[in-house]
Amino acid sequence: MPWRRRRNRVSALEGGREEEAPPKAAAVPSALLTSPQQTEAAAERILLRGIFEIGRDSCDVVLSERALRWRPIQPERPAGDSQYDLLCKEEFIELKDIFSVKLKRRWSVKQPRSGTLLGITLFICLKKEQNKLKNSTLDLINLSEDHCDIWFRQFKKILAGFPNRPKSLKILLNPQSHKKEATQVYYQKVEPLLKLAGIKTDVTVMEYEGHALSLLKECELQGFDGVVCVGGDGSASEVAHALLLRAQKNAGMETDRILIPVRAQLPLGLIPAGSTNVLAHSLHGVPHVITATLHIIMGHIELVDVCTFSTAGKLLRFGFSAMFGFGGRTLALAEKYRWMSPNQRRDFAVVKALAKLKAEDCEISFLPFNSSDDVQERRAQGSPKSDCNDQWQMIQGQFLNVSIMAIPCLCSVAPRGLAPNTRLNNGSMALIIARNTSRPEFIKHLKRYASVKNQFNFPFVETYTVEEVKVHPRNNTGVYDPEEEEDETASENCFPWNVDGDLMEVASEVHIRLHPRLISLYGGSMEEINDSKVTRETI
């Protein structure tokens, strides 16, 4: 029986008010039941031992260096009684899954100041299905003030010893994200959990496009442990770009021409509150607000690869993924209809871009990914990627779409990802090219992203694993009759790019270079969550 079937409403805030005392304690969730790790219990140093009521049972509770374990206290019965052995089975939680501890009190009119102590409440991060996390509670009931105070102080000391967990966060909130719901998402779902974990916050509302960039350029970040963006992909990408630009400036680098950038100094948390949440979805495996918040609270850190986009040697921006051709034109069309709802705008732009499907005459050069240890070690030490020993390849022709992605790019229309074979930090990018073909065939290719079939199993689709890419459009005429309706998707002499959901217009060649593990994001990789390793060790 899960804990949340308990119907009492008790304030667990230390020194706070409680609305009602619990008539009965709740049962312990199955997620905390016995596991093979019990065999390691004997080797752990015991910190405290005592008796608490957990659920409906009085339990012998042991706090060790790594876990809290308990076993119901039962009357002696004959040896070999299988039912008795089952009832006395030991249960446990790992201390790294606890994110807050509060004294539990019952308040009444007769005791307006102190209240009656009931015990201790532990707030725990638990795994659910499909990469989701949830917060839950465990009540340790004991009416002794001295007994609870000793345990409470020990739990506080343990929680203070997790170095990755933030104590103060800078929050950047985009109130316009997804039907203006981001504000409600933050104050109703995110902020209560951050307060419960004792994390101090400073909230800035982003008032215009580029606000985060100008703010983080000069903002004092000395007292913060991390930055959190509440919004969609556009907001998240802008904040990541701003943090990386600031890191280059602090390192004394010229921000217009960056060959080997330095890592961002603060980790970034992403709360999915936009119409598209590709970055958060790829990071957590699911676009779930509570999951993203708990990853931040628990201090789960993931180092993620980042791309630089430059033209004529000048840096345009940092980013995680880009689309040129159909993907860029679709976004350019959608931007012209901002008055529509996000879903209507997206669907309308896709239909219109398909109706005016147009191939781009391009020359694409790329540097294939080299996984050899000596090359990777040289590049990890800061050596430039492109040198005389690297073997560039070049293809040219008419292309309907070109995608360059350093992350899997999971989203609602592509549950397995636009680049399913890419990982967050494997040191490579996916280059996916769709050559010119008929409209029906291209539509079949797009529909495959939403199915379990291989979206790349078409003769006109090519995929490469690369480290650098140069996309050089050779003209702006395409394959359509120039007397057709005027092109709405690009400014004069510029080509539209979709970079992390932001429109970037460039007139000439764009050079995309991958930089491994350049930014720290609060989150757990899909592989890690699926392997039941919720909490990361310190990097």
Largest Cα–Cα distance of the chain, in whole Å? 94
User: How far is 446 from 299, CA to CA, in rounded Å?
Assistant: 37
| Under 8 Å between Cβ of 53 and 73 | no
Provide CB contacts within 8 A for 221, sequence distance 6+: 170, 227, 246, 265, 266
Tokens 């993620």 correspond to what residue?
304
What's the topology of domain 168-300?
A: Rossmann fold (3.40.50)
Reported for 68-74, long-range contacts at CB under 8 A and 24+ positions apart, including other chains, are: 68/92, 68/93, 68/95, 68/98, 68/122, 69/38, 69/41
Q: DSSP secondary-structure letter at 33?
A: S
Q: What is the pLDDT of residue 340?
A: 81
User: How far is 164 from 310, CA to CA, in rounded Å?
Assistant: 33
Output the tens digit of pLDDT for each of the chain's 539 residues.
344 333 333 334 333 444 334 434 344 454 454 445 554 555 678 999 999 999 888 999 999 999 999 999 877 666 655 555 555 688 999 999 999 999 999 877 666 667 789 999 999 999 988 889 999 999 999 999 999 999 999 999 999 999 889 999 999 999 888 677 889 999 999 999 999 999 999 999 998 888 988 999 888 888 999 999 999 998 999 999 999 999 998 888 887 777 889 999 999 999 999 888 999 999 999 999 999 999 999 999 999 999 999 998 899 999 999 999 999 999 999 888 878 877 788 889 999 999 999 999 999 999 999 876 555 554 555 555 444 456 999 999 999 999 999 999 998 888 889 999 999 999 999 999 999 999 999 999 999 998 888 889 899 999 999 999 999 998 754 433 333 444 555 555 789 999 998 999 999 999 999 999 999 999 875 444 333 332 223 22
Provide CB contacts within 8 A for 159, sequence distance 6+: 98, 99, 100, 101, 165
Provide CB contacts within 8 A for 214, sequence distance 6+: none
Give the E-state strand segments of 44-90 in sequence order: 46-54, 57-64, 67-72
Q: What is the pLDDT of residue 31?
A: 47
Residue in 92, 99, 141, 135 with CA at minimum distance from that of residue 2: 135
**Considering the entire predicted model, what is its pTM?**
0.84
User: How far is 487 from 328, CA to CA, in rounded Å?
Assistant: 13
Q: Which residues pair with 466 in a beta bridge?
A: 368, 429
Q: How many other C-beta atoms lie within 10 A of the C-beta of residue 99?
A: 23
User: How far is 502 from 237, CA to CA, in rounded Å?
Assistant: 8
User: How far is 122 from 316, CA to CA, in rounded Å?
Assistant: 47
Q: What is the pLDDT of residue 59?
A: 93
User: How far is 174 from 212, CA to CA, in rounded Å?
Assistant: 9
| Under 8 Å between Cβ of 182 and 278 | no
- Token duo for residue 87: 């009832």
| Under 8 Å between Cβ of 158 and 70 | no
Architecture of the structural domain at 46-71+90-161:
Roll (2.30)
457 by Cβ neighbours in 10 Å (0-12 / 13-18 / 19+) ranks as exposed
Q: What is the DSSP string of 388-428?
A: TTS--EEEEEEEEEEEEESS---BTTBTT-SSTT--TTSS-
SS (H, E, C) 86-126: HHCCCEEEEHHHEEEEEEEEEEECCEEEEEEEEEEEEEEEE
Residue in 463, 462, 456, 466 with CA at minimum distance from that of residue 512: 466
Indicate the SS3 state at residue 366: strand
Indicate the SS3 state at residue 15: coil
- The dihedral built from the CA positions of residue 385, 391, 392 and 395, taken in this order, carries a sign that is negative
- The dihedral built from the CA positions of residue 346, 347, 348 and 352, taken in this order, carries a sign that is positive
Provide CB contacts within 8 A for 494, sequence distance 6+: 505, 506, 507
Indicate the SS3 state at residue 173: strand
- Token duo for residue 193: 């959990």
Q: What is the pLDDT of residue 343?
A: 78
Examine domains 46-71+90-161 and 168-300 and report if their fold is the same: no
User: How far is 260 from 379, CA to CA, in rounded Å?
Assistant: 10
Q: Which amino acid is at 427?
A: G
User: How far is 198 from 194, CA to CA, in rounded Å?
Assistant: 6
Q: Which residues pair with 54 in a beta bridge?
A: 57
Q: What is the DSSP string of 240-294?
A: HHHHHHHHHHHTT--TTS-SSPPPPSS-EEEEE-SS--HHHHHHHSS--HHHHHH
User: What is the enclosing helix (H) or strand (E) of 368?
Assistant: strand 360-368
Residue ranges covered by each domain of the chain: 46-71+90-161, 168-300, 314-373+392-475+492-516
- To the nearest 10°, report the CA torsion of 74, 78, 81, 84: 0
Class for domain 314-373+392-475+492-516, per CATH? mainly beta
Helix residue ranges per DSSP H, 94-250: 145-159, 177-180, 182-185, 191-196, 211-218, 233-250
Q: What is the pLDDT of residue 111?
A: 63
- Token duo for residue 310: 């430059």
Q: What is the pLDDT of residue 274?
A: 85
Q: Which residues pair with 134 in a beta bridge?
A: 126
